[in-house]
Structure 1
């Protein structure tokens, strides 16, 4: 009889814990909704991506949203973070806009090269040449938001309104941009000043 009572109590406790566990499980359901962006349907099968409903809200992959909006996306395993770029992959951004400066009140420019050597640019001709090249730069966000190794130089641009930093590795305000013909020309010009 003692074994029967212990077995009965054990059976009841297992049943109650299973009921308790089941009440904590929330129902997540696949939904058959269509997603539209700019009045065009998003192809969910290209991923393949699915839409889930949880507590009356629809959820989709962050990657699907990033790809649809043409934003760069990267997963950083070390920090366990999803990184979304601030700018679209298909639109250029002017450096003047990024740095919030028109480069018209530049007094001097300090160049620090990758090996630690420094050059001060104070002559009006070279200051104007550098600021002209900077003001013409249009950049595209890099698909991969990964820091490169090293840099050729950093420019410290001294203006009447404060100092501005321009890094040759194009890591600007937390976003990484792709080099292009104009940035390469600027790099060549800045490197030529090193030997003067």
Structure 2
């Protein structure tokens, strides 16, 4: 797949905006500058110019962002420029070696444009064909949008893609990556089992590979600071805690009061609500496995890696 180059022109957006001048005019001169980025000499093409305004150099942000390996886009509705250049940390737990990240979602008419990056590990300079999907969810674990990633030019270097999905799902709460084929080899779906909680009337889908390997322990809350919760525990690491994740059930009032501060200080995700109840999922804050046993450590993380997928399977029973 050819690298998608964004067609957005920030100049057009600025031209359509209200321009306010601090004085009668602003004088800008072309600035004859060249660039060295990460020890490589980079020349400007005819699409970009550098300006000198009052002794300050104004550089095209898209030019700099792309050569630094970042994604960039402009959302006209919010009048905001987005630049992302982080580690690609979104993976499919059932297919290792492919990661996605630096997602930027902007409005495009009735659709959502998704700009992101994908790379593969351990493939050298070879190019690979990939079929994948990104699924976007709100904080009630309802799917609100998706895009399909298809191409034959993916490798060890991050590859930028720009795709569109139907509807407006910019305000997503969670996103899952699913790899469906690599180099024309179909990746089968992962079988699952259902965990059912009859007290609070919800279900979760867990990988079938977890069967017989986990326990669920209820902790009855004693105050608003300690509401009812359920620890999902790796049996093999139970002597060291073994908690893979915790489902907590809050009253809506308590969540409104405590939720914002908890989100700031640690990973906690709202996954659903039912009347006055709010359900959240959180990974453990401490080491919960035997750090001296590589096999037990690997077992724990093989289960832990599924958290991102599991949290979007939350369903309330009718």
Alignment TM-score, normalising by the size of structure 2: 0.28
Largest Rg, 1 or 2:
1
Which structure has more helix as a fraction of its residues?
1
Alignment TM-score, normalising by the size of structure 1: 0.42
Which structure has more strand as a fraction of its residues?
2
